[in-house]
Amino acid sequence: MPKRDTSVDRFGDKLLFVVLTSFGPIWRLVNRVKCCHRRTNRTLVNAMMKKMPSRPEPWSCCYDYVSWEGLSNRSFWKRHLPPSDEMQHVLPSLERVAELFRRPPDSARLQSKSTLLFSHFASWFTDGILRSERREPRDIRCNASSHEIDLNQLYGVNAKDTAMIRLGNGGQLKSQVINGEEFPPFLCSDGKIKPEFEKLPLPTGWKMIPDTLKDGLFAFAMDRANFHPHYAMFTVLFFREHNRVAKLLQSANPTWDDERLFQTTRMILIVCEINIVVEEYINHIGPYHFKFTNDPAILTGKEEWYRPNWGTIEFNLLYRWHSLVPSRIRVRDVDVSLAESMFQTGWLPKHGLGQLFEDASLQRATKFGLYNTDSILQHVEVATIKLCREARVRSYNDYREFLGLKRVTDFNQITGDPVVINGLKSAYGHVDNVEFYVGLNAEEVRPNSVLGTSAARMVAVDAFSQIYTNPLLSKHVYNEKTFTKLGMQMIQETRTIQAILDRNVPDRGRPWLATLTHPRWFRNAPDPECELDPPSLDTSGTPLLSAGGLP
């Protein structure tokens, strides 16, 4: 496939990319030497933060101009750039743009790097920090987010919802045991919500859920947690880890009451989630030999970007990676359509948590980009484009300039794919008319990466600035007085999903596999342009990669 015209790329960006993706042995040495790694970690994170203006942003979705309400009312999304009406007069129809996302039947383009587990972790994680307003009538300007990584996928967004899933003893959450594995209680009995859970948020898509599936739904404090089994399995994994940690804390601190045990366990798990986001998820998205770590010690307190978190409408739009989801999902060597998998939380006790994590780790995610969204998610793409227009988000080129990148002057500077180029030309006519969301999806994915340049930069800056400003990482909070010596040890030992899975699934003689990076992936491998591939198993049925890590 022809490559894009890179003449628009800045020399400094090209040089940094080459340096970080070359000299593998040197970078591996830097990763191992703590003092060198810490300095490099601090330098690269701070350099990345300077690629975009730091918070607080002057604008919000409250008004089209700067206002006190917009600077103080956190129920409104912030904005990186003020709204614009100019583009609204040159935009093609929603239906025309939606066709740029549609995946042709039986022609899903797969990634060589990412697994289905990556796709679902991305969805599970971002739903925890980017929560749009769900009350009717919905106001697209508003959010229902705490603007923090707070593991609300498990604990819910308020104390009332959290209280309904708590056991009230030993800091634990309510649970049941099925086939030797721990799960949350079921939400329903005979298709009706149990009285003790009637005030929990109604599961997303409740009216669409067949009565035959309702008794398999779990009593989660988050509305979307039952939407898909791969979404639910992450919540169940952290649920098990919560109860495991709470028991250990109670044993080490027998005088503590239920409340202190619960609150301390919750804080430990939130930092564990942050560790995984930085050290497994963000490192997976990037193509670099240097590996970032969650090291609060890199903060000096003088960083200009160290400001309170506040999600933006652009970050909310950016993180809709529907093209990563395959059209068919493999569970226990059986292919199931995406539509058939919805609300199938009964898979968890039926197949076991370890099996589902391994199945998702052996199936490839599909490639990020245009012409690769399954038909069942087409209406979601339409809704996203509509939201982009209702919020009067500025053009793709305007945001490139905001990100410190050069404006593109030709479609082939976005991508070298002739199909995408022709689609953009036909829909928009001129490159300056390309919309923000469409442009991010049209960008050519960088080698050994998951995203294009603009999307990757915005993800990195917004993610790191959201992570390192979390109050639990403050030098006044991040210590043994807050988490206990045992808690700090658990935090240090939890850097991957694999680590939590190993501690919370029944032993079968070897670890179940949990990886965001496909076992067959290696650097500079060509991306497969094929349909669904078979599981990556050898003839004995053993994964080609041990759970110990990637080569």
Give the integer Cα–Cα distance in Å for 451 and 490: 32
Q: Is residue 474 part of a domain?
A: yes
The answer to whether residue 453 sits within a structural domain is: yes
Q: Which domain holds residue 303?
A: 6-173+225-504
Q: Which residues contact 444 (CB under 8 A, 6 or more apart)?
A: 3, 4, 414, 415, 416, 417, 452
Is residue 236 domain-resident? yes
Q: Sort strands 181-183 and 188-189 into parallel, antiparallel or unpaired.
A: unpaired
In a domain, 36, yes or no: yes
Three-state helix/strand/coil letters over 411-448: HHHCCCCHHHHHHHHHHHCCHHHCEHHHHHHHCCCCCC
Q: How many domains does the chain have?
A: 1
CA-CA distances (angstroms) from residue 295 to 41, 271, 302?
8, 11, 16
Cα 188 to its chain centre, rounded Å, is 29
Closest CA to 197 of 206, 188, 209, 184: 188
* Residues 6 or more apart in contact with residue 34 via CB below 8 angstroms: none
**For the chain, counts of helices (H) and of strands (E):** 23, 10
pTM surpassing 0.75?
yes
360 domain-assigned: yes
Phi and psi for 373 in degrees, rounded to 5?
-105, 130
At 301 the pLDDT is: 67
110, two tokens: 């797969």
Q: Which of 154, 187, 353 is nearest to 262 (CA)?
A: 154
**Can you give the length of the chain in residues?**
551
The Cα–Cα gap between 184 and 500 comes to: 17
CA pair distance 317, 77, nearest whole angstrom: 11
DSSP strands (E only) in 16-70: 59-60
Q: What pLDDT sits at residue 86?
A: 86
Task: List, in order, residues 6 or more apart from 426 with CB less than 8 Å away.
Answer: none
**Among all chains, which residue has been given the structure tokens 């603009």?**
454
Q: Is the dihedral of CA 139, 82, 460, 439 positive or negative?
A: positive
Is residue 468 in a domain? yes
- Could you tell me the mean pLDDT of each successive run of 10 residues in the chain, 551 residues long? 84 91 93 92 89 90 94 94 89 94 90 93 91 79 90 95 97 96 96 95 92 95 93 97 98 97 98 96 93 85 83 92 93 90 94 96 95 94 94 96 95 96 96 96 92 92 89 93 97 96 91 93 48 34 32 25
Across 285-297, b (16+ Cβ under 10 Å) vs e yields bbbbbbbbebbbe
321 contacts 122 by C-beta, under 8 angstroms: yes
Rounded to an integer, what distance in angstroms lies between the CA atom of residue 207 and that of residue 203? Answer: 9
Which residue in this structure is represented by tokens 């070897």? Answer: 510
Distance between terminal CA atoms of the chain?
Answer: 28
Q: How far is CA 531 from CA 322, 323, 326, 519, in A?
A: 17, 14, 10, 18
Instruction: List, as one string, the DSSP characters of 492-551.
Output: HH--SHHHHHHHHS---SSPPP--SB-TT--TTPPPP--SPPPP-B-TTS-BSS-TT---
- List the structure tokens of 194: 């149990």
Name the residue among 421, 301, 418 with its Cα closest to residue 46. 301
Alpha helices for 277-395 (secondary structure H): 283-285, 313-318, 338-341, 347-351, 353-361, 378-390
Residue 483 exposed, middle or buried by CB count within 10 Å (0-12, 13-18, 19+): buried
Report pLDDT for 534.
Answer: 34
Phi, then psi, of 113 in degrees rounded to 5: -95, -50
Contact (Cβ atoms closer than 8 angstroms) between residue 498 and residue 514:
yes
CA angle 328, 330, 336 (to 5 degrees): 50
Residue 508's pLDDT is: 84
Give ∠ CA 148-496-498 in degrees, rounded to 5. Answer: 130
Q: Residue 102 is part of a domain; what is its CATH number?
A: 1.10.640.10
Task: Give the whole-angstrom CA distance, residue 99 versus residue 107.
Answer: 15
Residue 529 lies in a domain: no
- CA neighbor of 392 nearest in space, from 79, 159, 125, 161: 79
Per-residue confidence (pLDDT) for residue 522, from 0 to 100: 55
Phi, psi at residue 134, to the nearest 5°?
Answer: -110, -10
In a domain, 540, yes or no: no
C-alpha to C-alpha distance for 183 and 107, rounded to whole angstroms: 37
b/e burial code for range 431-452 (CB count within 10 A of at least 16 → b): bbbbbbbbbbbbbbbbebbbbb
